Amino acid sequence: MADSAQKPLLDVLLGNRRDPVPIWMMRQAGRHLPEYMELRSTAKNFLDFCYTPSLATEATLQPIQRYNMDGAILFADILLVLDALGQGVRFEKGVGPIVEPVSPGGRLNKVPVQTAKERLSPVYETVSRVKEKLDPSKTLIGFAGAPWTVALYAIEGRGGTDKNTARLWAHENPAGLDLLLDDLVEVTAHYMAAQVEAGADALMMFESWAEGLADDVFEQIVIEPNRKLVVRLRELGVTVPIIGFPRGAATMLPAYTDVTGVSAVGLDTAVSPAFVNRELPDHFPVQGHLDPLLLMAGGDKMERRVIELIDAYRDRPHIFNLGHGVLPTTPIKHVERVVELVRAQAAK
């Protein structure tokens, strides 16, 4: 594992308080940056962008160069795993991702796991290139979509839905769902382990569609597959910290952190600091959770909330972030102001 003493963000993930708190933002590389849009225009399509290491490396580094963030997160997409498994992923302008739906039996067996892992080799090259160029004080975060979130796209065949089709499918096909989630755990574990081998300092599991689930369903399709993924990563020799992000977990957040074995948890916009501090262990690292819409709005209200969040977590390891990703129309000056405020809020 990399030396955490010189990497503030990694040090926090290992359970240590740092002041000022380190900062990065989900979707920090993206459409709010003109340099990203210029770079994106050079690729023939989005998958080509993700699979071209020179382009993905530059996209990963752009927010570090502009904002001096403490963490660089690999530029990729959560659906690359499905693409590598042969599920016919494509991205249509104005529509979003389109995926060949999984069969009712739930198996993703078109491509062996090892073949899928090898198909994702351009991603590992991107990690290696970023690692070579990244300042030693910055933490490189690898990532993947968590099992249920990726399964949802495989079931529904597209994004931009109300997710009810996938939830109903989960109720009606419990055996198929278990097979689907287990397949995703295995291939995702190998994918993430390869990112670490290529140089990632930490990993993040994006369970972006954990919201709206009953507690028993949440335990079955979010907590248990996330736990299996963490266990499998450790079996494969991965020792780096793992961040879980169960967006919309609500009152299930304590159970998620207790059972899954994650090293830290990303907090969404809706959860309150009082709940987090009351329900999570005192020294458990948290990441979050400024509202992306407030970041877009800017102004005094945004600045007050930044300081409130930092003050709320002064007694635990904390990484400043958003409750979801940076929105495309977010003004750059608002991001710059948040970084400035965070850097200025060292413990007195």
Q: Where are the domains of the chain?
A: 31-291
234 is catalytic: no
Q: What is the pLDDT of residue 2?
A: 60
> What value does the mean pLDDT take over residues 40-67?
97
Lowest mean pLDDT across 58-67, 96-105, 310-319? 96-105
- The SS3 call for residue 161 is coil
3-state class (DSSP) for residue 213:
coil
Half-sphere exposure of 52 (CA within 13 A, CB side): 14
pLDDT at 331 over 80: yes
Alpha helices in 161-252 (DSSP H): 164-172, 174-198, 215-218, 224-235
Say whether 314 is catalytic: no
pLDDT by residue (tens digit) across 147-166?
A: 999 999 999 988 777 889 99
Average pLDDT over residues 221-248: 98
Q: What angle, 0 to 180 degrees and rounded to 10, lies between the N-to-C axes of helices 121-133 and 53-67?
A: 40
What pTM, to 2 d.p., does this model score? Answer: 0.96
Does 348 have pLDDT greater than 60?
no
Q: Catalytic annotation on 232? A: no
Instruction: Yes or no: say if 304 and 338 are a contact pair by the CB < 8 Å rule.
Output: no
- What local confidence, expressed as pLDDT, does residue 49 receive? 97
The active-site residue out of 11, 77, 83, 183 is 77
**One of 51, 124, 153, 256 is an active-site residue; which one?**
153
Set 40, 158, 234, 305: catalytic member: 40
Note the pLDDT of residue 129: 98
- The CATH code of the domain at 31-291 is 3.20.20.210
Q: Which two tokens stand for residue 5?
A: 């003493």
Catalytic entry in 17, 27, 90, 343: 27
Beta-bridge partners for 286: 265, 318
Query: Closest by alpha carbon to 339, among 330, 348, 282, 31?
Result: 330
Q: What's the average model confidence in pLDDT over 228-248?
A: 98
